[in-house]
A and B are shown apart, each in its own frame.
Chain A
Amino acid sequence: MEQILQVFFNAAILERAWPFLMRGVTMTLLLSLVVVPIGLASGLAVAMLYHLHRKWLSRFLIAYVDFFRAFPPLVLLLFIYGGLPFLGIDLPLFGTVALAFLLNTSSYYGEIFRAGLESVPAGQAEAARSTGLSRGQTMLWVILPQATRNVLPDLISNTLEVIKLTTLASVIGFTELLNNARNAQALTYNATPIVAAALIYLVLLWPLVRLVSRLEHKSIAVR
């Protein structure tokens, strides 16, 4: 028992590592604040392009989405990180991470928004167009609000996944929470920093998990 406390919950070590961990939390939140909006925007773009129902464009988009859904995000990240320099492109670490996330999350959010747009009955657009609303106005004021509401549980659930994925950036040395925790662990030769990091993730993300659960059960209840 004593030993477990010493190794996993060592107060002295936690105190030393704390500022370091907090800087990691800040970077994790910052990274999330960048990659989630990028993912939402690009996913929405993918879905709206699909919604034009141009045969070849749709096929291309499905291929794009499936390709990046088949690709483990870590592989994508390492491929971009390791491959871009050979193309003579020198992206900063943040840019590398953002690019990998753009490709990965646009396909997931894209699938969700696509399902959302398809869930809105065709009569909605017809009614809007019959009152003189343009294509764009119809999309913005009539279709999108309904589509988003219909897939809100999936959107939040995917956002949770995207935030969890930010841990991958630690693999290429981006100094977010997990990366800092591992460095602290290596320096102190004690497991407390990574256990603390795990608990921080738990505290930060647990509310989102609860929210997803509630929304999903609610949507089952109304069926």
Chain B
Amino acid sequence: MELQRLAFSFFNGDVASRYWPDIVHGMWVTTYLAAAIVATGLAAGLALAMARSFHFRPASFLIVVFADAFRALPPLVVIIVLFFAFPYVDLAMSAFSATWLALSLVLAAFAEEIFWAGILSVPKGQTEAARSTGMSRLQTLVYVILPQAVRLTIAPLTNRMIAVTKGTALGSVVAVHEIIYYASSGASEAGNPTPLTLGAAAYVVLFLPVVMFSRWIETRFAWKR
């Protein structure tokens, strides 16, 4: 009897069949949003770390301030400020754009720090050797330093990417139509938590392979201690 009630509540076939198309659509939005965040955040983070490696003081200072701020701010706060505060000054953006921008900034801040740590880990002699052969600063960075630095950044970057892309769920707070948005509105509409179960399952389907992949990455490219 208890089991039946449990099944009726959390694994209700009727409710599931009604809401799964929504959830699938949500999965698509989540994937799309996550991919956009990863692309923007990693590119921006790499660009900032490279800019910082030229040791131009004012620029480095601004980069550190940016990285510190967006590592300190809770992502949900960034999303809410972008979505709810900026319309007051006629800078309205869609919920999707606000979530994308907010999480890209957060990922960029963390990625910058990770790439920077990677660049610092390459011995100074590598730069000196490259410059002594007549390569420019940028050439040295791109052909000599980064290829060595990136290897060390793979494991921490993967973990951070997972953490930030899981944050796409936060978009539901500003009504981005991603998985959990459909799942919770579905659950309250149906008066039954089955859509939540579906939503939870959808996240596991999307993210569990990535988490398992990261475990593999970690053993393969572990920071040498």
Contacts and interface: CB of A to CB of B under 8 A. Distances in A.
Given A83-B193, A164-B75, A209 B68 contact: yes
A223 B193 contact: no
A31 B211 CA distance: 28
Given A78-B184, A82-B187, A165 B74 contact: yes
A168 B72 CA distance: 15
Contacts of A165: 74
Contacts of B167: 72
Main SS at interface, chain B: helix
Contacts of B204: 67, 70-71
Interface in A67-115: 67, 69-76, 78-79, 82-83, 86-87
Contacts of B78: 198
Contacts of B135: none
A7 interface: yes
Contact of B74 (A78, A82, A164): A164
B203 A75 contact: yes
A178 interface: yes
Given A70-B208, A74-B180, A202 B117 contact: no
Nearest to B205: A70
Main SS at interface, chain A: helix
Interface string B203-225: 11001101110010000000111
A220 interface: yes
Contacts of B6: 87
A135 B63 CA distance: 48
A190 B203 CA distance: 35
Contacts of A217: 117, 120
Given A74-B170, A83-B196, A220-B117, A209 B85 contact: no
B172 to A, nearest CB: 7
Contacts of A195: 81, 85
A205 B71 CA distance: 9
Nearest to B79: A167
A18 interface: no
B20 interface: no
11 contacts: A66-B212, A70-B166, A72-B180, A79-B200, A171-B76, A182-B80, A182-B84, A194-B80, A198-B77, A201-B77, A209-B68
Interface of A: 3-4, 7-8, 62, 66-67, 69-76, 78-79, 82-83, 86-87, 119, 150, 160-161, 164-168, 170-171, 178, 182, 185, 190-191, 194-195, 197-198, 201-202, 205-206, 208-210, 212-213, 216-217, 220, 223
